[in-house]
Structure 1
Amino acid sequence: MTLVWLDDLRLDAEVAGPPSAPPIVLVHGLGLDGRLWQSLLPGLTGHRVLRLDLRGHGASDAPAPPYAMGAMIRDVERLMDHFALKEAIVLGAGEGGLIAQGLAVKRLDLVRGLVLTGAATRFANPSVWQVRLARLHDAGPDLDAECAALLGPRWRTSPAQAEVRAMLETTRRAGWAGFASAIASADFYRTTATLRLPTLVLAGADDRRTPPDLQRELADLVAGSTFRLIRGGSHLPMLTHADGFLPPLRDFLSAIGHLQT
């Protein structure tokens, strides 16, 4: 990945695939980075794929917190403009799903469809986030608790545990607090309900952070969306259950004609 210089910060990003291929944009969640998608990339050949590290995450710059959700949406928007990507499928994981939803509402010329996994229109009440922000400020993230939430009760023996912990450890405290502050006040229920574009919601059956029933409610909110459950899937099924994640994703891309001709 390479640092892209924007007006006020540098974001680590990579675009791969034929320039004329239909684009897919991959947006990770809190505490993670662009490495999240590594297992998925071989299944996306034939597409123009943009993956990135959000501000405060991975190798991207980490401005002082708090961050605004609008600024984080704008970051992805600017990267898409930088790489001349339009009519893309935006795949948002976890809290990155908020960015995907906000971008679709703001820039329908950039977003042709959405794929959301581990996502919702909001994540807990602001009071819950205030407690979490106070803990982040005082002691930083509890990496064991984060791994357990992301990978499930058997996280210690998960083959993905080392990868997930490496991403969590890379995220600077400013990134944790900045993104968390943006999530705390975000509620996209009303705006997401206005969307009328192809949408796939892929839920891990064993997702403890964003239960499948909550993700089904998100799917019901967008007219004509599709909901698929990944058997045994965690909050990060693209990493832990790529074999179950790719087939419904490919079916969705095929159904809407988002394929190279």
Structure 2
Amino acid sequence: MQVLMRPWGAMHYRIDGPEDGLPVVFANSLGTDLRLWDAVLPLLPGIRAIRYDKRGHGLSDSGGPVSIADLAEDAAALIEATGGPAVFVGLSIGGMIGQALAARRPELLRALVLSNTAPRMGAPEIWAARIAAVRAGGVASIADAVMERWFAPPFRTTPALHPWRNMLARCDAQGYIAACEAIAAADLTEAAASLRLPALVIAGDQDGSSPPDLVRGTADLIPGADFHVIPGAGHLPCVETPAAWAALLAPFLQDHAR
């Protein structure tokens, strides 16, 4: 296992693919770990995939209270440690990290992929209610409600749902709460509007966490950004519709491999 030591503790990461491949950093959503990308990596041959568990998720240490800016600094440190510049792919909170990173450290990025994300995601009172629920009953107490926002109805009827519910339910409660607080406090509208790098923005038409119109608004802030909606996909299209998601990403990566 590969570990990058940060001031707050150990950050777990993994590299797959050829040493001379295009570096692509993948940042996970809230409540998931780096296995989020397992289904799409075989569909993106030739890249040097750099995946990591953000603070309080997967095999990384918790690290206590955190902001989106702090998480962006962690991503910057990973890119510097593994050899950049890289294409950054972020989903949900991972996309918020990508927006902050691109605004703060543009020299580290070749291009940016924002999937199912926005500069501001949900009103603070919504996050406060979720945090209160987790404090009262643990992450497992909200798992069924989250599955309804993450996945379209057909996926939720299949056995494939259960590992994702388990992943969420077993997430460290304090790490999950810290990430919720970071999202609640973040407004990256100015940061997104300042971006001048190639960007691909992806939404799912069944996404209950970041609906397509919200994600489209993100693309509208970034000059020249490409925007696509995947039919039948919820909040995690890389899980639910990996072939369709990879079909959008692959040509974008080829365009920016040089």
SS in 1 for 2:153: coil
The amino acid that maps onto 2:116 is G
Partner of 2:33: 33
Q: Distance in 2 between matches of 1:54 and 1:103?
A: 14
The amino acid that maps onto 2:105 is R
SS in 1 for 2:183: helix
TM-score, normalised relative to structure 2: 0.94
Partner of 2:171: 171
1:40-189 matches, within 5 Å, as 40-64=40-64, 66-86=65-85, 88-141=86-139, 142-189=142-189
Q: Distance in 2 between matches of 1:236 and 1:158?
A: 15
Q: Distance in 2 between matches of 1:253 and 1:72?
A: 24
SS in 1 for 2:80: helix
Q: What is the RMSD computed on CA atoms of the aligned residues?
A: 1.5
Partner of 1:200: 200
TM-score, normalised relative to structure 1: 0.93
- Deviations along 1:36-64, one digit per CA (max 9) or x if unpaired, are 00001112221111001111001111133
Q: Distance in 2 between matches of 1:58 and 1:233?
A: 24
> Is there any run of 5+ residues in structure 2 with no aligned partner, and where?
none
- Deviations along 1:130-164, one digit per CA (max 9) or x if unpaired, are 22222222222311111111113345313531231
Distance 1:30 1:257, change over 3 A: closer
SS in 2 for 1:109: helix
The amino acid that maps onto 1:108 is P
Q: Distance in 2 between matches of 1:22 and 1:251?
A: 13
Q: Distance in 2 between matches of 1:249 and 1:51?
A: 16
Structure 1 residue 191 corresponds to structure 2 residue 191: yes
SS in 2 for 1:54: coil
The answer (yes or no) to whether the contact 1:58–1:170 under 8 Å persists in 2 is no
The answer (yes or no) to whether the contact 2:22–2:47 under 8 Å persists in 1 is yes
Q: Distance in 1 between matches of 2:189 and 2:162?
A: 35
The answer (yes or no) to whether the contact 1:148–1:155 under 8 Å persists in 2 is no
SS in 1 for 2:95: helix
Q: Distance in 2 between matches of 1:106 and 1:34?
A: 24
- Overall identity of the aligned pairs, in %: 36
The answer (yes or no) to whether the contact 1:30–1:179 under 8 Å persists in 2 is yes
The answer (yes or no) to whether the contact 1:151–1:235 under 8 Å persists in 2 is yes
Aligned length: 256
The answer (yes or no) to whether the contact 1:63–1:174 under 8 Å persists in 2 is no
